[in-house]
Amino acid sequence: MKFSWQLLNTFINLNHIKFNEFQDQLTLSGLEIENINKNFIEISITANRKEVSSILSLARETSIIFNSPLKILPINTIKNTNYTRIVTLEKNYIKKTPQWLLSELDPDNIENNDILINIQRYIKIKWGETFEIKNNDTQEYKQQANRINKESQIIVFTKILNKKSAKYHINEFYENMYIDSIKLISTFTKLNIGKYTEKKSKVLAINKRIKIKKENINTLLGNMNEKNFKFIETNTIKNILKRLNLYPEYKKLEKAFIVQVPNYRKHDLKREIDIIEEIGRIYKFQNFFNKITKYNLKGFQSNNFVKTKQIRHTLQNLGFHEVVNCGLTNNTNNFHENIKLYNPINNEQKELKNNILESIIKNYEENIKNSKKNIEIFEISKIFERDKHQYNERQKLGGLIYNINYTRNTWENKSEKITLFHFKDIIEIFLQRINSTAILQKILSFDDTKNIKNTNHLFNTNKRLGLYNIKNNKIIGIVGELNTNIITSNKNTNIYIFEINLEELIETISSKNHLQYVIKKYSNYPSITRDISIKLKMYINIKEIKSSLIKNNHSLIESIEILNEYKLINNYRSISLRITYRSKFKTLTKEEIKFIDQNLEKKIQKLEQFQQINNV
């Protein structure tokens, strides 16, 4: 639609507004400029902005956007009243249209040179509404026609508030339009215009009221794009609503605005969201922060919860799949500490489970029935025990690995199944990743078996290790090979399982907030090594041998390494050790080396004598 620059300047002063700014702001407000020349500006009007259909409506929109006042004031009339004004004109009048008026009309749509018709079109372009030209024989105005000369014609001005009418409009500048029309007609037709005949009728006008909550404005428009993110202020919102002629009223207790929608915007301002969009449009959307504010507020998370989450993710990263089993079962170990149900649903769920490995083993057997070849699962669950008259509830971590295609030495060879050494490495990697100080070592006969008593029968006695807390040397779990006698299928295979007290495992997890390096001075003097062979009974712990050798020589012994081990007859074994000696202060002399050798021989003899005397 084309609009005249000159007519627009009659309603609003554009001298202080730069053209580029005018073009940008009008486009951001939904009125896209398609073409511009020195006389006209062509704007694309969308369906929801059909009220912008005249110079007056464009001036009103420009006034709102730039907060610049209109240069015309409405003339007060009686409110809620319909008008019909009839003005009679003689038919003989000057019909030539002045050039300036033609230049204000759309040159593409000039069809008639009659001055009255051109004034009618000019008023329509300028004010958005215009008068009607009727003949005196029109039935509607027959009574009026009987009182006037038949050589006259009638001009009708109307102001309608009837909602049912297709011409539904209310123009607060109706009187200005009327005065402007009469002046133009009188000036260019050279006719004397007398008094008009007027009809009035009262109409009950219903003003549309909309409630807008301040909270919804903040939510939808968001923060302002500033260093300290703030919502748009209440007074600023109120001023914008005034500029939009919405007559706002702020309810402080409700924290909401009540607005009245003007009649020329009733077609598109129908809901709360429409008003909020207008506020953002006038305040300019680019002034709001264009990213969603993230509120990373979390409730308190206990240390156990955080560490359990870390353990679960670590196992998943190692390839384990989590399973969930019911807390009701029928335990295979018939201990008197088992907690039985008074009224069980069935025989398979008549007790609270005292370990989680039995459920995991059942998961394994179900997967084997469904031809599953590789099974790597874990579960974090509660177990229940009775200690005299006290009932205990503990959190346990259990898992199972069965993999017949775990490793391959070369691409030419077939894949091999997982071994106990592989399984031990997996557990150690798991402990390392969760930053646990727990260690795997042989289970001693005098260890407290509270954490392993309910699962001890599930392990192969000669292929199991205990998980120990090094701070108190307390056993917190058990890992090893499954005793295949308890399963119904695949008895000649290797299955590895573990069960750990979760709470005690969490206690071994150290924080990474501080580095725990041990700084030691490095010796610049050469070292000497001695390889020795010791004959031991099959199940003597090598740690005891190491501690015996280090005793009285710990200042010179730098390291003790196991080179190899040979099994002998009669449950004996031969272990080769390499001992490295080094002084931090000097090079060792021949006398000192000779003393070390003699001392080693004496200790070996004592160890062998000790085994014979005690029949170890």
DSSP 137-200: T-GGGHHHHTTS-TTEEEEEEEE---TTSTT----TTHHHHHHHHHHHHHHHH-----PPEEEE
Give the Cα separation of 260 and 344 in Å (integer): 69
Angle at which helices 214-221 and 234-243 cross, to 10°: 90
Task: Give me the number of domains the chain comprises.
Answer: 5
Residues 496 and 580 in one domain: no
Residue 459 to residue 430: CA distance in whole angstroms: 21
| 222 and 98 assigned to the same domain | no
Of residues 248 and 3, which shows the higher confidence score? Answer: 248
Go through the chain and tell me how many residues it has: 616
Query: Within a domain: residue 308?
Result: yes
Q: How far apart are CA 14 and CA 10, in angstroms?
A: 10
From the number of C-beta atoms within 10 Å of its C-beta (0-12, 13-18, 19+), residue 357 rates as buried
Strands 572-581 and 40-44: unpaired
Residues 442 and 577 grouped into a single domain: no
- Same structural domain for residues 534 and 500? no
Q: Is residue 363 part of a domain?
A: yes
Q: How confident is the model at residue 429 (pLDDT cuts 50, 70, 90)?
A: very high
Identify the pLDDT of residue 264. 80
pLDDT of residue 585 exceeding 70: yes
Confidence of residue 597 (pLDDT cuts 50, 70, 90): confident
* Same domain (yes/no): 122, 55: no
Calculate the average pLDDT of the chain: 81
| Single residue among 447, 473, 507 that ends a domain in this structure | 507
CATH code, domain carrying 543: 3.30.70.380
Tokens of 387: 């200690």
Q: How confident is the model at residue 213 (pLDDT cuts 50, 70, 90)?
A: very high
CA dihedral 25, 28, 34, 37 (to 10 degrees): 0
Beta bridge partners of 76: none
Please say which residue of 252, 287, 322 terminates a domain: 287
Q: Is 346 domain-assigned?
A: yes
The CATH number linked to 438 is 3.30.930.10
Confidence band, pLDDT 50/70/90 cuts, at residue 386: confident
pLDDT in tens, 47-78: 778 888 888 888 888 888 888 888 887 776 66
Burial 368-379 (b: 16+ CB within 10 A, else e): beeeeeebbbbb
> Do 159 and 178 touch, CB atoms closer than 8 A?
no
The mean pLDDT of 590-610, rounded to a whole number, is 78
Residue 145 has a pLDDT of: 47
9 shares a domain with 88: no
Same domain, 487 and 600: no
For residue 426, what pLDDT is reported? Answer: 93
pLDDT at 138 over 50: yes
Shared-domain flag, residues 196 and 103: yes
Nearest to 84 by CA among 161, 183, 173: 161
CB burial readout 181-207, b (16+ within 10 A) else e: bbebbeebbeeeeeeebeeeeeeeeee
* Residue 490 included in any domain: yes
What is the per-residue pLDDT for 226? 62
Task: Please report the pLDDT score of residue 405 as a whole number.
Answer: 82
298 domain-assigned:
no
pLDDT band at 328 (very low <50, low <70, confident <90, very high): confident
CA neighbours closer than 13 Å in the CB half-sphere of residue 346: 2
Phi, psi for 48 (deg, rounded to 5): -85, -5
Q: Give, rounded to a whole angstrom, the gap between the first and last alpha carbons of the chain.
A: 108
pLDDT of 99 > 80? The answer is: yes
Average pLDDT score over residue span 578-589: 86
pLDDT over 50 (residue 551)? yes
- The confidence band for 106, taking pLDDT boundaries of 50, 70 and 90, is low
pLDDT at residue number 137: 59
Q: Which residues pair with 159 in a beta bridge?
A: 83
Query: If you ran DSSP here, which 8-state letter would residue 221 be given?
Result: H
Strand-pairing partners, residue 464, are 480
Alpha carbon distance 389, 203 (integer Å)? 88
User: What are the tens digits of pLDDT across the range 454-487?
Assistant: 888 888 888 889 999 988 888 899 999 998 888 8
Please state, for a pLDDT cut of 90, what percent of the chain lies above it. Answer: 15
Q: What are the CA-CA distances from residue 510 to residues 232, 434, 435, 438, 472 (Å)?
A: 48, 9, 6, 10, 15
Written as one letter, the residue type at 376 is E
Mean pLDDT computed over 491-520: 81
The predicted model scores a pTM of 0.47
Residues 213 and 194 in one domain: no
Q: CB atoms < 10 A from the CB of 353, how many?
A: 24
Is the pLDDT at 514 greater than 80? The verdict is: no
Task: Give the range of the structural domain holding residue 315, as residue numbers without chain letter.
Answer: 303-507
Separation of alpha carbons 489 and 495, rounded Å: 12
pLDDT class of 586 with cuts at 50, 70, 90: confident
Instruction: Tell me whether residue 514 is in a domain.
Output: no
CA distance 412 to 408: 9
Q: Are residues 11 and 53 in the same domain?
A: yes
Return d(Cα 86, Cα 199) in angstroms, integer. 9
- If asked whether residues 46 and 86 sit together in one domain, one would say no
Shared domain check, 218 and 187: no
| Longest alpha-carbon distance in the chain | 151
Question: Is 39 domain-assigned?
Answer: yes
Specify if 522 maps to a domain. no
Q: List Cα–Cα distances, 314 to 311, 378, 397, in angstroms.
A: 5, 11, 13
- DSSP conformational letter for 522: P
